[in-house]
Amino acid sequence: VTGLAAHDPLRLLGRQRCVASNLGVIVDLGCAGLEDDDLRLMAPACRAALDAMGALERGSIANPDEGRPVGHYWLRAPDRAPTAAIGSDIRRALQEVDAFAHRVHDGSVCGADGRFDHLVHIGIGGSSLGGQLLCESTSTERDPLVVHFMDNADPDGVTRTLSRLRGALGRTLVSVVSKSGITPTPMHVARAVEAAYARAGLRFAEHAVATTMRGTPLDRRAAADGWLARFPLWDWVGGRTSVTSAVGLVPAAVQGVDIHAFLAGAAAMDALTRTAEPAANPAALLALSWHRLGAGCGRRSMVVLPYRDRLALLPRYVQQLVMESVGKRFDRSGTEVRQGLTVYGNKGTTDQHAYMQQLREGPDDFFVLFVGVHRDAGDPIEIGGSVTLGDYLFASLGGTRDALHDGGRRSITIELTDASPRSLGALIGLLERAVGLYAELIDVNAYHQPSVDKHAAGAAISLQQAAVVLLTEASEPLTAGQIAREIGRPESAEVVFRALERLARLPGRGVVASACEDPAGIRFAVAPSVVGRIEEGDS
Amino acid sequence: VTGLAAHDPLRLLGRQRCVASNLGVIVDLGCAGLEDDDLRLMAPACRAALDAMGALERGSIANPDEGRPVGHYWLRAPDRAPTAAIGSDIRRALQEVDAFAHRVHDGSVCGADGRFDHLVHIGIGGSSLGGQLLCESTSTERDPLVVHFMDNADPDGVTRTLSRLRGALGRTLVSVVSKSGITPTPMHVARAVEAAYARAGLRFAEHAVATTMRGTPLDRRAAADGWLARFPLWDWVGGRTSVTSAVGLVPAAVQGVDIHAFLAGAAAMDALTRTAEPAANPAALLALSWHRLGAGCGRRSMVVLPYRDRLALLPRYVQQLVMESVGKRFDRSGTEVRQGLTVYGNKGTTDQHAYMQQLREGPDDFFVLFVGVHRDAGDPIEIGGSVTLGDYLFASLGGTRDALHDGGRRSITIELTDASPRSLGALIGLLERAVGLYAELIDVNAYHQPSVDKHAAGAAISLQQAAVVLLTEASEPLTAGQIAREIGRPESAEVVFRALERLARLPGRGVVASACEDPAGIRFAVAPSVVGRIEEGDS
């Protein structure tokens, strides 16, 4: 490796840095190991990608598989929407979110027990992660509401959050988010929360809002039951790029985040990254770097390392955004390409004490995306010698990058002046556009997700139900193989076995299993008379 | 891919599952795509690895680079320690942790404002993550103390936690963990917390405990200042395997976790995984699978997917344990091997709505380690049709695994009956032993971390200080290149530039930068008379 520092380092730095002064964002490729030729050779492809993004912004069917335009950039620049109707829909939705948050804050919308001081946000994947990042990265002790996210079908997680809210449900707002209004997980979780309100003697509808497309089952239910508010979504907003829609804005606005600054940051980054000259376009530089560092096929993983606790969710956000967008079997002409760009990471400096060992010594199969923040949010903490803990944190980032570089490992650095809502908007806009451009470079549809299965549980649950019904009526204990045949699904003996084996370990489910080393020989029973025979040693 | 279900699925399941009934742990390789031959061919290497682990447990110098034995297995079986003195040290330390937690709970040890109801744990990397996993995975609303982890050098993170504790410091216990007692990050953070106590008019020492090796600077300071307690560490415990030492046990015991059940689970798993027969040894099965699936060189990443919110930290724990242990440049004979096994992941079902898209459609460069938990911790949540949300969660795991399998993607599944302290101990024991065996298979020293740099910030901080001193006395604004030459570090112009560029963006630091497109031309000033010239347009 010829070190960056070998000759005239600062001139090289100048060529490989893109400073967006108005946004306080720097993209620094000094340690990415790019040659000047890399940018030159990729320039035509990059211009084509920028042209395609321009067409997308004008309303082309950028997601042809689903026959839809892709409109998340309009959300922060409604004047650019392809029709006046879409533009006014966006403006109206934003006004509704804004007005609702104000009414929550001034107490004119309140719960059964008074002013709302908690929000439970129910949504999964793209319906949650952007809002989580925004709320987590900006929260302070002075927020008017504390926001809790329920983003999983885990009963323990639901119970844990509900127990934290014991006695406070009458001051807790619940926001249910599902674009389709039928995704099972948020619907199951919402029912569980609704039941908790009923147990507390409270009317759920008086504490609930919905964010969904017009006319979905969730929308109709919220309308019929008289929920506090319904916020719109549109089919041209994908989950992983929905943070600038009501999906991300409702929890943020309610927590007290300046959503206008957030949207303005994203809009300003969108404007900057329409620049046709790749070297002056930080999104293009990111996309070109990803392409170059991964040889156009994700050969290197991207390790996202924000150096701030408040950005600890950023790697997961980028992971969802990138892997769901570019992890595709086929390119747009239908050729099998098995594309992907693996993303992982947590936070610095913490991770320097963990997997950094492998990054420094192990295989050259990754590059790091460092994210540094110049300013502390609160008062600086002095650690002696006119040095602050913030200086130390930033120096740790630089020292780690330089050590990786000296070992021949690549990195990209994004520096933000602060972690304000405006800067976060700019960062998210930057990443969204980089992903869009990268997908153009590798020719995949970045806007569908044909293999995200929201119903993965369905088949196994049906088999479990059928097996239990059969056993309830059976006169003999049966093996999983026998049960599978009886219910007409002989190929699913294993799924039946796993479900019944688990039920037999749970209290109160009434399933009993015989003792047998070989899974194929284990017999199950539910009917009391048959259970008795197993317990007496039938096998 | 010939599907698992093609022929006689349950018999195959039987051959590729290892059920530890006494521990409620199942390791299931049914979807790992192993052939019977894989196990047979690897059996001799596996037996050698088991022999080496036996020698390690008897006190051999298993970490030759640092000339140390490796003793984390003794921590839960002190009778097996190589000397009686070590055994009694371990027992005494456990008694001290236990007794201290009891005194905290019964109020005989308390803070200036009464009974402790918060604990701040200060430690980084291995000094924190195990305790975090243990506390996070078992916490309930009924815990006697709420535990907060400060695991980073981020002033915003420190400030945020301190502001949550405003007014409560007199009821807050602070635990400072550093094996060496000199790691900069926890020491800086501890000083910041100590200053908060001083500002609140409280004596820090009366609220503080230390966990460190005897005689370190931290130990001496805690002794001299009369801290509440000092818990011992030994050089034969590595950070990433320290969760069964005071490092993990202090926060757990104080939170109210049954640490004896936790240790018993780990000890029982250790005992089980001494089995010489690979097929009956779940740790050996894991190590062999990792070897086979990654072709002995980590060719596939391991995606760790626990299906429970409370296990959300598990992937980070496994990431640290595995990548720090096996990410090594040289094997034990000194040959460059660039080994590694990349680990990432978050939690199911959440992640099914995110990067699962790439796992299903993208490159075959990973395998999944699913972790399922049979029982809910609280009351089951019914979702209709005699089905619970826990059933749905477990079925989602199975459905996702089967979909990956049908697409030719590999996975391993660990099932736990519950997520109790005992089960967690067993799970951690299983993973520690699997990593140790895997490292034997690939012949790397799993117990050192030569490239974990706890002082990465040092050089840049020194340069920043020298640059600021120079500029304070300078009569002209200077470029980073000039400054670097003046302070005798011409090769470090870039580091100087980055530090000063940031300081110039911060309020109150007194550094001013001239306007110039080219970083090499930007001139910096600190002395007021020179600053004035820059502000008037000097460049």
Q: Which two tokens stand for residue A66?
A: 């689903």
> What whole-number distance in Å separates Cα of residue A312 and Cα of residue B321?
20
pLDDT confidence tier of residue A1, bands split at 50, 70 and 90? very low
Cβ-based contacts of B127 with chain A (< 8 Å): 353
Contact A316 B140 (CB under 8 A): no
pLDDT confidence tier of residue B8, bands split at 50, 70 and 90? low
* Strand bridging mode B523-525 / B478-479: antiparallel
Tell me the CA distances in angstroms from A123 to A47, A128, A139, A210, one per residue in order: 37, 5, 19, 10
CB A243 within 8 A of CB A134: yes
Q: Which two tokens stand for residue A420?
A: 């304000």
Residues B412-435 have pLDDT tens digits of 999 999 999 999 999 999 999 999
Cβ neighbour number for residue A54 with a 10 Å cutoff: 12
Question: Phi-psi bin for A509: left (phi > 0), alpha (psi -120 to 50), beta?
Answer: alpha
Burial class (CB in 10 A: 0-12, 13-18, 19+), B226: exposed
CB B396 within 8 A of CB B388: no
Contact B4 A494 (CB under 8 A): yes
Q: A264 or A35: which carries more pLDDT confidence?
A: A264
Q: Which among A11, A141, A454 is the nearest to B353, CB-wise?
A: A454
pLDDT confidence tier of residue B4, bands split at 50, 70 and 90? very low
pLDDT confidence tier of residue A374, bands split at 50, 70 and 90? very high
Contact B518 A391 (CB under 8 A): no
Contact A353 B126 (CB under 8 A): yes
C-alpha neighbours within 13 Å on the C-beta side of residue A189: 32
Gap from A450 CA to chain B (nearest CA, Å): 7
Instruction: Count Cβ neighbours within 10 Å for each residue of B100-130 and write b for 16 or more, e otherwise.
Output: bbeebbeeebbbebeebbbbbbbbbbbbbbb
Maximum mean pLDDT: which of A37-51, B405-419, B507-521: B405-419
pLDDT at B9: 64
> What whole-number distance in Å separates Cα of residue A514 and Cα of residue A530?
11
CB B50 within 8 A of CB B276: yes
Map residue B58 onto helix, strand or coil: coil
Contact B362 A327 (CB under 8 A): yes
Nearest-Cα residue of chain B relative to residue A454: B353
- Run of H or E including B263: helix B259-272
Does the active-site annotation cover A324? yes
Please, what sign has the CA dihedral across residues B224, B169, A396, B461? negative
C-alpha neighbours within 13 Å on the C-beta side of residue A465: 13
pLDDT at B246 over 60: yes
> What whole-number distance in Å separates Cα of residue A70 and Cα of residue A80?
13
Does the active-site annotation cover B454? yes
Chain-wide mean pLDDT for chain B? Answer: 94
> What whole-number distance in Å separates Cα of residue A305 and Cα of residue A398?
12
Contact B379 A24 (CB under 8 A): no
Cα diameter, chain B:
86
Contact A519 B324 (CB under 8 A): no
Threshold 0.90, pTM exceeds: yes
Residues A515-532 have pLDDT tens digits of 988 899 999 999 888 888
Nearest-Cα residue of chain A relative to residue B330: A361
CB B511 within 8 A of CB B504: yes
Q: By C-alpha distance, which of B424, B425, B427, B414 is closest to B27?
A: B414
Residues B123-161 have pLDDT tens digits of 999 999 999 999 999 999 899 999 999 999 999 999 999
Cβ neighbour number for residue B216 with a 10 Å cutoff: 18
Q: Which two tokens stand for residue B368?
A: 């999944």
Please, what sign has the CA dihedral across residues A317, A320, A326, A327? positive
pLDDT at B538 over 90: no
Contact A328 B362 (CB under 8 A): yes
Q: What would the mean pLDDT of B77-89 be, rounded to a whole number?
A: 97
Contact B394 A499 (CB under 8 A): yes
Cβ-based contacts of B390 with chain A (< 8 Å): 155, 506
Q: Which of A96, A454, A486, A501 is catalytic?
A: A454
CB A310 within 8 A of CB A140: no
Q: By C-alpha distance, which of A504, A507, A505, A506 is closest to A531?
A: A504
pLDDT confidence tier of residue A4, bands split at 50, 70 and 90? very low
Q: What would the mean pLDDT of B69-91 be, rounded to a whole number?
A: 97
> What whole-number distance in Å separates Cα of residue B368 and Cα of residue B304?
6
CB B243 within 8 A of CB B130: yes
Give the mutation candidate from A128, A154, A344, A502 for the B interface (greatest B CB count, under 10 A): A154
Cβ-based contacts of A17 with chain B (< 8 Å): 519
Crossing angle of helices A246-255 and A129-138, rounded to 10°: 20
Please identify which residue in the block is written with the tokens 């059969």. A470
User: Any idea which of A11-20, A180-189, A264-273 has the lowest mean pLDDT?
Assistant: A11-20
Q: B2 or A72: which carries more pLDDT confidence?
A: A72
Residues B198-234 have pLDDT tens digits of 999 999 999 999 999 999 999 999 999 999 999 999 9
Q: What percent of chain B has pLDDT over 90?
A: 86
Cβ neighbour number for residue B531 with a 10 Å cutoff: 18
Chain-wide mean pLDDT for chain A? Answer: 94
Contact B392 A153 (CB under 8 A): yes
Gap from B116 CA to chain A (nearest CA, Å): 20
Q: By C-alpha distance, which of B245, B280, B287, B285 is closest to B262?
A: B245
Cβ-based contacts of B340 with chain A (< 8 Å): 358, 361-363, 365
| HEC sequence for A466-532 | HHHHHHHHCCCCEEHHHHHHHCCCHHHHHHHHHHHHHHHHCCCCCCEECCCCCHHHCEEECCHHHHH
Q: Which two tokens stand for residue A332?
A: 């747009």
Question: First vs last Cα of chain A: how many Å apart?
Answer: 67
Please identify which residue in the block is written with the tokens 């099914």. B352
DSSP A152-203: S--HHHHHHHHHHTTTTGGGEEEEEE-SSS--HHHHHHHHHHHHHHHHTT--
Gap from B393 CA to chain A (nearest CA, Å): 6
Q: Which among B13, B452, B459 is the nearest to A353, CB-wise?
A: B452
Please, what sign has the CA dihedral across residues B484, B487, B492, B498? negative
Gap from A55 CA to chain B (nearest CA, Å): 26
| Predicted ipTM of the assembly | 0.96
User: Any idea which of B22-36, B140-154, B392-406 has the lowest mean pLDDT?
Assistant: B22-36
pLDDT at B1 over 50: no
pLDDT at A335 over 90: yes
Burial class (CB in 10 A: 0-12, 13-18, 19+), A379: exposed
Gap from B110 CA to chain A (nearest CA, Å): 25
Gap from A48 CA to chain B (nearest CA, Å): 24
Q: Which of B105, B188, B374, B454 is catalytic?
A: B454
Does the active-site annotation cover A454? yes
Cβ-based contacts of A5 with chain B (< 8 Å): 491-494
Cβ-based contacts of A242 with chain B (< 8 Å): none
Q: B308 or B353: which carries more pLDDT confidence?
A: B308
CB A376 within 8 A of CB A418: no
Task: List A211's β-bridge partners, or say none.
Answer: A177, A231
A-B CB pairs within 8 A amount to 460
Cβ-based contacts of A319 with chain B (< 8 Å): 354-355
Please identify which residue in the block is written with the tokens 């966990």. B211
According to DSSP H, which parts of B70-183 are helical?
A: 84-106, 129-138, 155-164
Provide Rg for chain A, Cα atoms.
26
Burial class (CB in 10 A: 0-12, 13-18, 19+), B488: exposed
Contact A160 B310 (CB under 8 A): yes
pLDDT at A7: 47
Question: Phi-psi bin for A488: left (phi > 0), alpha (psi -120 to 50), beta?
Answer: left
